[in-house]
Amino acid sequence: MASFFGAPPTNPTPAPVLGAKAAAKAVSATSVPPCPGSHSSTPLCLQPSITITENTSEVFAVKFNPDGKFLAACCGDGAIRVFNSETGRMAYNLQRGMGFGPSAAPGHSNRVFAVKFHPNDHNVLISGGWDNTIQVWDTRVGKAQRSIFGPHLCGEALDLQGDVILTGSHRADDPLETWDYGTGEKISSVKIFDDGRSELYSAQFAKASLSGYEEKPRLIACGSSGVNEARVYDMENGSCCVGVVGGMSRAVFATDWSPKENKLAVAGGDASIRFVNVVEKGKIETRGVTGGDENVKVN
Q: Is residue 39 part of a domain?
A: no
3-state secondary structure of 177: strand
Q: Are residues 66 and 146 in the same domain?
A: yes
Q: Are residues 126 and 197 in the same domain?
A: no
| pLDDT exceeds 90 at position 288 | no
Q: How confident is the model at residue 8 (pLDDT cuts 50, 70, 90)?
A: very low
Q: Are residues 213 and 297 in the same domain?
A: yes
Q: Are residues 50 and 100 in the same domain?
A: yes
- Residue 129: the pLDDT is 96
Q: Which of 119, 150, 181 corresponds to the end of one domain?
A: 150
Q: Is residue 165 part of a domain?
A: no
Q: Are residues 101 and 177 in the same domain?
A: no
Burial class of 75 by CB neighbour count within 10 A (0 to 12, 13 to 18, 19+): buried
Q: Is residue 182 part of a domain?
A: yes
Q: Is residue 37 part of a domain?
A: no
Q: Is residue 210 part of a domain?
A: yes
| Number of domain units in the chain | 2
Q: Are residues 79 and 201 in the same domain?
A: no
Q: Are residues 8 and 132 in the same domain?
A: yes
Q: Are residues 146 and 175 in the same domain?
A: no
Task: Print burial letters for 25-42: b (CB count within 10 Å at least 16), e (below 16).
Answer: eeeeeeeeeeeeeeeeee
* 122 contacts 70 by C-beta, under 8 angstroms: yes
Q: Are residues 85 and 138 in the same domain?
A: yes
The tens digit of pLDDT for each residue in 174-195 reads 899 999 999 999 998 887 766 6
- Residue 245: the pLDDT is 86
Q: Are residues 292 and 178 in the same domain?
A: yes
Domain that holds residue 268: 170-299
The tens digit of pLDDT for each residue in 14-67 reads 433 333 333 333 333 344 444 444 444 555 666 667 787 777 789 999 999 989
Q: Are residues 74 and 140 in the same domain?
A: yes
Q: Is residue 93 part of a domain?
A: yes
* 139 contacts 94 by C-beta, under 8 angstroms: yes
| Better-predicted residue by pLDDT, 235 or 176 | 176
Q: Is residue 35 part of a domain?
A: no
CATH number of the domain that residue 207 is part of: 2.130.10.10
Q: Is residue 223 part of a domain?
A: yes
